[in-house]
Amino acid sequence: MKILITGGAGFIGSNFVYYIANKYPDYEIVVVDALTYAGDRGRLSGVEDKINFVQADICDYPKMVELIEGVDVVAHFAAHTHVDRSIADPGPFLQTNILGTDSLARAAIKQGVKRFHHVSTDEVFGTLEIGSSTKFNEKTPYNPRSPYSASKASSDHIVRAYGESYGLPYTVTNCSNNYGPWDSPGRVIPVFIASAMHDKPLPIYGRGQAIRDFLFVTDHCTAIDLAIHNGEVGETYCVGGGAQRNGVQIAETILDILGKPRSLMQYVEDRPGHDMRYDIDPSYITQKLGWKQSVSFEEGIRQTVEWYKAYQAWWQPFAERFDLMRESGLYKQKAENSK
């Protein structure tokens, strides 16, 4: 089996590379990544001898046609993903997430791949009310509210349309918020961990009431594995972590694990158009493919904190670049610079 993994030097993609390399040692693995702000080849240091790494942009259609020749499975992770960056500058998100997916899917069709798996997000569904019992599922209408989520919604539609129009043998997963090893500095959990470790304020949007459903990254990898190998062509599977937490709860959990005072929590200006709650119902993938969450939020956070303690040499340069702060200031900086 030959598998091509796009975005394999990113957070979730790199975890999937490790997962596939360890579970299927006989697979030929090609990893493609443009190595933008979100990609770092250092993430793959432990599997360099098991993969063929290619630095390339998925928007480069001729290159994708070349790379996909002889490939059985494409696992498509490559995307611009930071919501705040998309608010500051949506252009790269539209280019990579929409046109890049088009380029990759057309190349996959041309080369006759057996499975094209598209990794998406719960953010395409919009927002849920705090206090309601509603959850996202495979039948939830799309209602994206940021440039990032709009670009991912568009890419989902492209994949499905190419399945109908050209016979692309696709599957799609829409996942909730991932966390775990190799997470990107600038995202909430890494920033909170790094800030707490350095006794710096933990920046919490608004009053910290926005709720997310958190999924440990290895549980996400098992779901994608099942969708690729056992899922039906044309199916979508929603993957959730069953861990509803708001910003305050996340900060408190991390501070308590590290033995730091809760006085380090600091409220900052909220994100424009901030979705207030996400929650995924994973019962369909459980029923159809037997997927089950294996890592609780508390255990996953402990593992993540321990990983960040052990891998400071990797994340510290990134943390310094972000000044241990979230990217909440990016859209404000953009506006101020344009005045």
Burial class (CB in 10 A: 0-12, 13-18, 19+), 148: buried
Based on the residue annotation, tell me whether 156 is a catalytic residue of this protein. no
In the set 18, 40, 148, 308, the catalytic residue is 148
CB 175 within 8 A of CB 119: yes
Contact 86, 146 (CB under 8 A): yes
Q: Which of 84, 122, 183, 327 is flagged as catalytic?
A: 122
Write down the catalytic residue from 33, 57, 84, 123: 123
148 is catalytic: yes
Active-site residue 122, yes or no?
yes
Q: Catalogue the active-site residues.
A: 122-123, 148
